Amino acid sequence: MTFSRRDFVKTSVLGAVATGVGAHAQNQDDRDGKENPKQNAATQKHDEQSGPHKRPIIVCANNGFNYLEDAFAFLKNGGDTLDAALRVVKGPEDDPNDDTVGLGGIPNEEGVVELDACCMHGPTRRAGSVGGVRNIKNVSLVSKAVMQHTGHVMLVGEGAERFAVAMGFPRENLLTEHSRKIWLLWKEFHSTDDWWGPGLADPHWQPPASDEKPQSEVWQHRIQNLQARAAGLGIAPEHQLAAVRKVLFPPTGTIHCSALNDKGEISGCTTTSGLAFKLPGRCGDSPIIGAGCYTDQDVGSAGATGSGEENIKVAGAHTIVENMRHGMSPHEAGMDALKRIVRNYNSDMNKVRFIDMIYYVLRKDGAYAGVSLWEGYSKGHPHKIAIHDGNRRAEICMSLFKGYSQAFPPFPDIPEDLKNNSEYLK
């Protein structure tokens, strides 16, 4: 694998442009902090929509796409809205190949998978939540059990796990070989600073790259070194670069789903393994009622995937639902929450470019929107919202800014041939 200096420079140069929320940054090719012009057109289109929107309807993050058919049939046949949403998110929780949720989630810094989830049932105005749960795969269902079988709203850690076992959820090892190897690679990445990875006596040991070298060369060396280590750990060639990417830029993948039936009942849920390699005990936004998910039977439902810490600070899902209560369209409501994140950094694009956030918004009348801070994590991979209202589809989210969020620290472009050959990079 080779990376040109140009590729590196392209991904690491900063830009400056007014953001539309008052900021100035420096000019840059595809991460310029310009407000996305399509956004205004979409606002207008969404706002002009009048009359009845389609019900029933389910919206979710795009990793729920494959599970929408079954959940929609269930909802259409009179199934409960929360149970329909839970059917969707259970799919990725059970899937060992989705390494951002449930079984196979990328673990914390100690190699232990810790899961977060919450749910809200609109018709009965109840909520349940669990945080930092180990050894239990379907934490979304555990959050529902907290809602149904306790007088509490949130259980965390060991108590949540013991509660789940008492409720009949099986304990199982959630760390798949795939995720364990990515974690080991992450440990080895720090091996110039600690005792993990090959030591001085290893014939292939190399001294850390000199600080005097240009940053691009340091990075190229680091990435090549990591890829060689990935091979040494037995990670298949087509998955090596994706593993390196996850080590360098820990993902926060998650799934949210909201479901609305033909009677206007609405519910939502969110589940995740959280930020990869997090500190043990870290809870992101997903189990926080009002951040990762919020549903109000009178108004609608919203949920989030992306930078959990940022979303907690703006109580994103609750903000969106309140915005809709005060008359904003789903699209406007989501965009306003995104702008609050930007304001928390005084619109400093040098910082905002390292954040991403995607909101999935469903109003009680069936109007919906998928909005994101940036167009996607990388070119050709836009953020999407999946929808089923009788017609299952995925739509590209409208982004506040043109361009792509930047992984931290900057990562060279992935060669096209590797992208095409790896399911993990698609």
Binding mask 292-321 for ligand GLY (x = CB under 6 A): -------------xx-x-------------
Q: Using CB atoms within 10 A of its CB, is residue 221 exposed (0-12), middle (13-18) or buried (19+)?
A: middle
Instruction: Spell out, one character per residue from 87 to 126, where the chain touches ligand GLY: x when CB under 6 A holds, - when not.
Output: ----------------------------------------
Contact (Cβ atoms closer than 8 angstroms) between residue 87 and residue 71:
yes
Closest CB 410 distance from ligand GLY, rounded Å? 21
Q: Does the footprint of ligand GLY cover residue 284 (CB under 6 A)?
A: yes
The burial of 20, by beta-carbon neighbours within 10 Å (0-12 exposed, 13-18 middle, 19 or more buried), is given as middle
Residue 36 and residue 21 in contact, taking contact as beta carbons nearer than 8 Å: no
Minimum CB distance to ligand GLY smaller for 15 or for 308: 308
Q: How many CB atoms lie within 10 A of CB 195?
A: 8
Least CB distance to ligand GLY at residue 254 (A)? 4
Answer yes or no whether residue 275 interacts with ligand GLY by CB under 6 A: yes
Active-site residue among 11, 252, 254, 319? 254
By CB under 6 A, name the one of 36, 220, 254, 329 that touches ligand GLY.
254
Q: Which is nearer to ligand GLY, 292 or 410 (CB)?
A: 292
Which of 15, 274, 303, 403 forms a contact with ligand GLY (CB under 6 A)? 274
Give the one residue of 62, 143, 286, 399 binding ligand GLY; rule: CB under 6 A. Answer: 286
Position 356 contacts ligand GLY (CB under 6 A): no
Please identify which residue in 129, 220, 252, 261 interacts with ligand GLY, judged by CB under 6 A: 252
Q: Which is nearer to ligand GLY, 270 or 295 (CB)?
A: 270
* Residue 19 is among the residues annotated as catalytic for this protein: no
DSSP reduced 3-state for 56: coil
387, 65 contact by CB (below 8 A): no
Query: Are the C-beta atoms of residues 30 and 402 closer than 8 Å to each other?
Result: yes
Residues in the chain: 426
By CB under 6 A, is residue 272 in contact with ligand GLY? Answer: yes
Q: How far is the CB of 313 from ligand GLY (least distance, A)?
A: 12
Q: In what order do the strands lie in the sheet with 293-296?
A: 293-296, 300-306, 357-363, 368-372, 398-399
Contact yes or no for 30/404 (Cβ under 8 A): yes
Give CA–CA dist 333/319, Å, rounded.
Answer: 8
Q: Concatenate the DSSP letters of all residues of 297-366 into one string.
A: TTTEEEEEEE-HHHHHHHTHHHHHHHHHHTT--HHHHHHHHHHHHHHHTTT-HHHHTT--EEEEEEETTS
Residue range at the interface with ligand GLY (CB under 6 A); choices 119-127, 142-150, 270-278, 335-343:
270-278
- CA gap 240, 141 in Å, rounded: 33
- Of the pair 138, 272, the CB lying nearest ligand GLY is at 272
Residues belonging to the active site: 254
Give residues in contact with ligand GLY (CB under 6 A): 252, 254, 272, 274-275, 284-286, 305-306, 308
